[in-house]
Structure 1
Amino acid sequence: MEEATETKRDRVRRLLIDPLKADGFRFARGVTAEDAKTRLDRLADDLAYLKDDGLDALRVSLRTKGEGAARCFWPAPATVLGLAESFQRRPLDELPALLRWFASAAGGAAVLGDRLVAEYWFWTMHKRPPVKPMDKKVVADKAEEWRRRVELAKDRIARGHTMPDDDAQWLQWYQGKVTYVEGLVGNQSGVSEDAA
């Protein structure tokens, strides 16, 4: 007999959802079994990025976060996902909004404005695009700072001087990020026409 491989969703069920159900977590009256399954499947999919120890920590924390008078109803997804982020941040590559942003006209504008890595950095910090005037200023300032740092490093190399290790590592990181984010700009898959 073949041994079935455990899916990511099954792993989240095993380590988080099923133990919380065993502790008494349930949905409020009026939520159909089908709707409850759909909600828990969506939750499992959203939490699949967590490592086992992150799921264990989340389970322990959620045991005291039930909603309702008896504290036995499943918390809102925003509560669960926010708590999960406190244990382990979700990788940016899994955020569809980030992929759409860089594949849209905004990504092209970031390339033209030489803000590509700075915008990606902003996403890592805030998990949202820099759309407010203050956000744009922060990104522009960071892009200018890094542009100057790259110029200084390239000038030092051109003159035959050695760079300190931390500068060399930073330059390597920066150039790697440029290549990576340029790949996101070129990736048009899954982008709707209105997002571009």
Structure 2
Amino acid sequence: MQRDAEDEADRAESGRMRVRRVLIEPLCRLGLRRRPRISAEDHDAMLRRLEERFAYLDEPSLSVLCEGVERAAGGDARNLWPDEVSIRNWAEQLCRPPGGESRLVRSWLASAAGRAAWDEGQEVAVALRKYLRRHGRPPHDFDLVRIRREADAWRHKRAVIAERVDAGSAGQSDLDWERRFAEAVDLVRGLVFSGEEGAA
């Protein structure tokens, strides 16, 4: 057990060093500077947070992120670090952090809004999860219209597949799609009802 913890700590340190070597140091060498309204201490703390947060990224992903940050540099001379949240969002678009769903997806689906989507239909809840994962923000009213439209399409597809199964004409692609969808339903069910066991 202690050895496993030591190995995990070594991997984390190695990941932080990789972030420093492939992302942060090259950008500093290029001349990226802290934004004027940010203190030196806060800027250094941001860079340490980036090292910690991006330790899971491999070298190719970090290289792509480095290029993206360079191109997004701000200021008149295009030599100021972008804000931290932008860098984090770009990294997540490249590769999601390990450990499952983001905090937004977990908290939103576990909220009253997630339960309401589940009560409206499993397909609606799955479509809501897909939206949250893709856009990384809560849906607006017009987004909910699209979410429900996608859920309706999935509901129809599931009904068609069920008819094919009953008739003995379902193909392997039908069965694979329904299996994947059922797995998504199980995952969403766990997220929606995640707080109930502890509250009981």
* 1:26-47 CA-partner distances (Å, limit 9, x unpaired): 2145643321222112333454
Tell me how far 1:82 sits from its aligned partner. Answer: 4.9
2:129–2:188 Cα contact (<8 Å) kept: yes
Are residues 65 and 117 of structure 1, via their aligned partners in 2, closer, same or farther at CA, if it must alter by over 3 Å? closer
Q: Are 2:35 and 1:37 aligned? A: no
TM-score after normalising by structure 1: 0.77
1:27–1:36 Cα contact (<8 Å) kept: yes
Tell me how far 1:85 sits from its aligned partner. Answer: 5.2
Partner of 2:3: none
Distance 2:115 2:95 in 1: 27
Sequence identity, in percent?
A: 32
Structure with more helix by fraction: 2
Which ranges in structure 1 are unaligned for 5 or more consecutive residues?
190-196
Counterpart residue type for residue 191 of structure 2: L
Please, what is the CA RMSD of the aligned residues? 2.9
Distance 1:48 1:71 in 2: 27
Tell me how far 1:56 sits from its aligned partner. Answer: 0.7
Tell me how far 1:54 sits from its aligned partner. Answer: 1.3
Q: Are 2:10 and 1:15 aligned? A: no
SS at match of 1:63: helix
Q: Are 2:162 and 1:157 aligned? A: no
Are residues 71 and 137 of structure 1, via their aligned partners in 2, closer, same or farther at CA, if it must alter by over 3 Å? closer
Taking CA–CA contacts closer than 8 Å with sequence separation of 6 or more, which of the two structures ends up with the larger relative contact order? 1
Q: Are 2:149 and 1:144 aligned? A: no
How many corresponding residue pairs?
185
Are residues 31 and 188 of structure 1, via their aligned partners in 2, closer, same or farther at CA, if it must alter by over 3 Å? same
Counterpart residue type for residue 5 of structure 1: D
Counterpart residue type for residue 55 of structure 1: L
Q: Are 2:99 and 1:90 aligned? A: no
Are residues 91 and 39 of structure 1, via their aligned partners in 2, closer, same or farther at CA, if it must alter by over 3 Å? closer
Partner of 2:130: 121
